[in-house]
Amino acid sequence: MPRLIDLSLSSLLVVAALSLSSNLSYAKNLSVSKLDSNEEKIVQQVNASLPLAMQEIEQAVNINSGSMNLAGVEQVGQLAGKQLSALGFDVQWLDGSAFNRAGHIVATHKSQQPNAIKILMIGHLDTVFAKHDDFQTFKRISQTEASGPGVADMKGGNTIIIAALRALKTLGLLDNVSIQVVLTGDEESSGRPLSLSKKAIVDGAIWADIALGFENGDNNIATGMAARRGYVGWTLNVSGKAAHSSQIFSEQVGYGAIYEAARILEAFRIQLASEKDLTFNPGLIVGGTKIELDGAKSTGEAFGKSNVIAQHVTVKGDLRALSNAQAEHAQQVMQTVVAKNLNQTTAELVFEAGYPPMALTASNKRLLSLYSQVSQDLGYNEIRVANPRNAGAADISFAANHVVMSLDGLGLMGRGAHTKNEVADLTSLPKNIEKTAILIYRLANRTIAIH
């Protein structure tokens, strides 16, 4: 029998709503609210707690947690763990030394109700900004914006998770739902092997019915990530015959490594660039008579002369696809291209383990519809399916194949992620806390069949 979750909106009370304000100069323009009495209390509780949420974002942003600053990542993890422990969650720190990263926070609340819905909430502790980067501190730009390393991606998203759960806990509304929060320490630079570094997410997803991700997605509050493209890295190694340049194209010497690499890359473009939702990008190329590549630092050196045919080329790139089938097809096409070598050249294409895709399923669209209904009942906008090309890979992809429904992009909106111009849109903070808390409340207390 499928699990029944009551999500009937016909039972919701229709009441007049008041404009609410906060220290963010945030106000809702509501004419009619379709919230029940508990949902109205959730809105009031969220807005009363906004100063605390802002304080917690600032606290987290001011701790550097670049992926390889292991002590900093753990410090942010302990901060979040303390906040979740105060809500009654069982909090664990999972050491990441086995995959060369700091580790993860896993916090669990288990309902005493035998058929309670189980929800996995996913965030991450690390940022792309290294320990000695000069972009280090939270700064309030205006009433509606703040800047800082990881303020939107995704320390603001972590705060939305905790603030939503705090509102529900304060009101005694967590009893009918089981929650697991996984905050990873290596989303921006995944530890290897992935089977270890992503195990906490996979285990959580196997346990859960629904997965919610709190990345900022495409930074559009009117969209939600019901699908995400998967990601794999690839390396192309090409060899040719070194000789005087006057002999190039001859039968004995051939075309050299650079011409072969150029042929392969252009064939990739011609054969695959028009395929919807598929992208493949050569991000680094090093070629010449002698080359050296430092994969960890993404740097390379080459020696070559214009009168010498290049002997070696290495290209590093990525491939992003919306489904496993699409990714497999693209890899087959690319391998076929690589195998048709120019005279006196050889080439190999190696794909590495990466992020699986989160496909656009009917269940994911249904969950997005429920989230959109919450938004509209609050007097906010409808939420549509985001274009998966407008956002990168995310940890929720490791959960998506193990749960009935998944949805991402529920975090703090902003712009300039991964740059020193990262800015958070603070007007989205109360909205997305409210939407998250009410979505969880409805999932816990109303019924539809999920399958």
Do 128 and 23 fall within a single domain? yes
pTM: 0.87
pLDDT value of residue 21: 38
Angle 10-434-375 (CA atoms, 0-180°, nearest 5)? 50
Q: Is a pLDDT exceeding 60 seen at residue 311? A: yes
pLDDT tens for each residue of 422-441: 999 999 999 999 999 999 99
Q: Is a pLDDT exceeding 90 seen at residue 22? A: no
Q: Is a pLDDT exceeding 50 seen at residue 20? A: no
Do 28 and 163 fall within a single domain? yes
Q: Tell me which long-range contacts 32-40 makes (C-beta under 8 A, separation of at least 24).
A: 32/379, 33/377, 33/378, 33/379, 34/9, 34/376, 34/377, 35/377, 35/378, 35/438, 36/11, 36/12, 37/13, 38/171, 38/173, 38/441, 39/12, 39/377, 39/438, 39/441, 40/15
pLDDT value of residue 451: 52
Of 351, 382, 412, the residue that ends a domain is 351
**Residue 238's closest CA among 349, 164, 127, 154?**
349
Do 280 and 339 fall within a single domain? yes
What would the two tokens of residue 247 be?
Answer: 């002999």
Do 264 and 371 fall within a single domain? no
Q: Mean pLDDT across the stretch 234-242? A: 98
Q: Is a pLDDT exceeding 60 seen at residue 5? A: no
Do 190 and 276 fall within a single domain? no
pLDDT value of residue 134: 93
pLDDT value of residue 392: 84
Q: How far apart are CA 158 and CA 141, in angstroms?
A: 21
pLDDT value of residue 7: 40
Do 20 and 131 fall within a single domain? yes
pLDDT value of residue 4: 42
pLDDT value of residue 393: 87
Q: Is a pLDDT exceeding 90 seen at residue 275? A: yes
Q: Is a pLDDT exceeding 60 seen at residue 189? A: yes
Q: Mean pLDDT across the stretch 160-178? A: 98
Q: Mean pLDDT across the stretch 203-221? A: 97
Domains held by the chain: number: 2
Q: How far apart are CA 264 and CA 337, in angstroms?
A: 6
Q: How far apart are CA 256 and CA 401, in angstroms?
A: 44
Cis peptide before 193 (omega within 30 of 0): yes
pLDDT value of residue 449: 53
CA distances to 217, 247, 291, 303 from 254, rounded to whole Å, are 47, 8, 20, 20
CA distances to 198, 228, 423 from 354, rounded to whole Å, are 11, 13, 28
pLDDT value of residue 438: 97
* CATH code, 238: 3.30.70.360
Q: Mean pLDDT across the stretch 61-70? A: 98
pLDDT value of residue 2: 40
Q: Mean pLDDT across the stretch 246-251? A: 98
Do 252 and 235 fall within a single domain? yes
Do 177 and 72 fall within a single domain? yes
Pairing status of strand 223-224 against strand 384-385: parallel
pLDDT value of residue 298: 83
Do 343 and 382 fall within a single domain? no
Q: Per-residue confidence at 64, pLDDT binned at 50, 70, 90? A: very high
**Better-predicted residue by pLDDT, 298 or 102:** 102
Of 291, 325, 351, the residue that ends a domain is 351
What would the two tokens of residue 133 be?
Answer: 């980067």
Q: Is a pLDDT exceeding 70 seen at residue 336? A: yes
**Better-predicted residue by pLDDT, 3 or 235:** 235
Mean pLDDT over the full length of the chain: 92
Positive or negative CA dihedral for 82, 84, 89, 91?
A: negative
Q: How far apart are CA 371 and CA 366, in angstroms?
A: 9
pLDDT tens for each residue of 27-49: 343 334 599 999 999 999 999 99
Q: Is a pLDDT exceeding 60 seen at residue 16? A: no
Q: Mean pLDDT across the stretch 350-367? A: 95
Q: Is a pLDDT exceeding 80 seen at residue 196? A: yes
Domain that holds residue 285: 230-351
Region label for 172, one of left (φ > 0), alpha (ψ between -120 and 50) or beta (otherwise)? left
Do 89 and 234 fall within a single domain? no
Share of the chain above pLDDT 90, in %: 89
| Phi, psi values for residue 58, rounded to 5° | -60, -45
**Better-predicted residue by pLDDT, 448 or 126:** 126
* CATH code, 120: 3.40.630.10
Do 343 and 423 fall within a single domain? no
Pairing status of strand 423-425 against strand 145-147: antiparallel
CA 166, chain centre distance (Å): 23
Q: Is a pLDDT exceeding 90 seen at residue 296? A: no
Cis peptide before 154 (omega within 30 of 0): yes
pLDDT tens for each residue of 119-134: 999 999 999 999 999 9
Q: Is a pLDDT exceeding 80 seen at residue 13? A: no
Q: Is a pLDDT exceeding 80 seen at residue 14? A: no
Q: Mean pLDDT across the stretch 56-62? A: 98
Do 110 and 24 fall within a single domain? yes
Angle 378-369-145 (CA atoms, 0-180°, nearest 5)? 50
Of 351, 373, 389, the residue that ends a domain is 351
Q: Per-residue confidence at 149, pLDDT binned at 50, 70, 90? A: very high
CA 333, chain centre distance (Å): 28
